[in-house]
Chains A and B, each alone.
Chain A
């Protein structure tokens, strides 16, 4: 078996990112769409950690921590918006989210 190189991690991360993209594109449940976005953020973090190991420098992990902080903020605000939306529309269908359109 070949040793694991950063390219293996790149491929894994690309596949996970694509799964997240498919979730965002195909699902209509807003909660599942949010979870797909979390999957994509995690794919980015895998890359950061892999290159951190490759270059023997922890700066990639520092940026991974920033990504996690931003993901936490995004989840909090996004789910707050979702609850406010649900209170008004009684649905979680993304196709009903057209109030901003005119």
Chain B
């Protein structure tokens, strides 16, 4: 019962803030709504029992990426940014039609998946003896060690690339 109420409240908040991110005219407001959206998703992760993912969400998304966005918003001049009104009606209609097509496609998959009887029942496991963070860390450093190292390499390359791109040309 409580789980249901929490889910619907969080879903409402997440979708509401998402719509506000996309529709708000002021880019700084968009970024702030994005923070609220990320925090609501972090709470959703908590309710899903993914504590480590929730902490990473708050640290990396709400803490790191959003600060990056705010810096860029402050660095560029947003005056005279054309948005909305100059969008031609044909383009708006085309965009909405494509978004509707994506929604139809995804919901068709969901409906067909829920209509089919579950082939493999979800395993009923005993409560894990390890905590969530320990299990995630254990998997990261054993089965997924190579992807983990590749991800760190990717972050290094991205950092170097961002510095090279943002540097003033000499």
Q: Do A and B bind each other?
A: yes
Question: Chain A: residues with CB nearer than 8 A to chain B?
Answer: 1-4, 7-12, 14-23, 25-29, 31-32, 34-36, 38-39, 42, 45-46, 49-50, 52-56, 58-59, 61-62, 64-66, 68-77, 79-84, 86-87, 90-93
Q: Name the B residues within 8 Å of A77 (CB-CB).
A: 158, 161-162, 165
Q: A35, B21: Cβ atoms under 8 Å?
A: yes
Interface of chain B, helix or strand or loop or mixed? helix
Interface size on B, residues (CB 8 A): 84
User: Are A22 and B147 touching (Cβ within 8 A)?
Assistant: no
Q: Say yes or no: A29-B99 contact (C-beta < 8 A), given A45-B53, A50-B48.
A: no
Which of these, A15, A22, A73, contacts B22 with CB under 8 Å?
A22
CB interface residues, B 39-87, toward A, < 8 Å: 41, 44-45, 48-50, 52-53, 56-57, 60-61, 64-65, 68-69, 72-73, 75-78, 81-83, 86-87
Total cross-chain contacts (CB, 8 A): 220
Given contacts A1-B4, A56-B125, contact A23 B22 (CB under 8 A): yes
Contact B107 A11 (CB under 8 A): yes
Contact with A along B19-47 (1 / 0, CB 8 A): 10110000100110010011001001100
Determine if A10 and B140 form an interchain contact, defined as CB atoms under 8 angstroms apart. no
Cβ contact within 8 Å between A80 and B165? yes
A84–B165 touching, CB < 8 Å: yes
Interface membership of B114, Cβ < 8 A = yes
Neighbouring A residues of B69 by C-beta, 8 Å: 31, 34-35, 75, 79
Query: In the complex, which residues of chain A have a beta carbon less than 8 angstroms from the beta carbon of B78?
Result: 29, 92
Is B22 a contact of A27 with CB atoms below 8 Å?
yes
Q: Point out which of A42, A45, A52 has the most chain B C-beta atoms below 10 A from its C-beta.
A: A42
Q: What is the interface of chain A mostly: helix, strand, loop, or mixed? A: helix
Q: Are A79 and B34 touching (Cβ within 8 A)? A: no
The proximity string for B residues 123-140 relative to A, scoring 1 for CB distances below 8 Å and 0 otherwise, is 111001000100110011
List 4 extra interface pairs beyond A35-B69, A39-B34, A83-B166, CB under 8 A: A4-B7, A22-B96, A28-B87, A77-B158
- The 9 A-B pairs with the shortest beta carbon distances in the complex, nearest first, are A25-B95, A80-B165, A73-B158, A23-B22, A80-B162, A14-B106, A76-B162, A19-B18, A18-B103
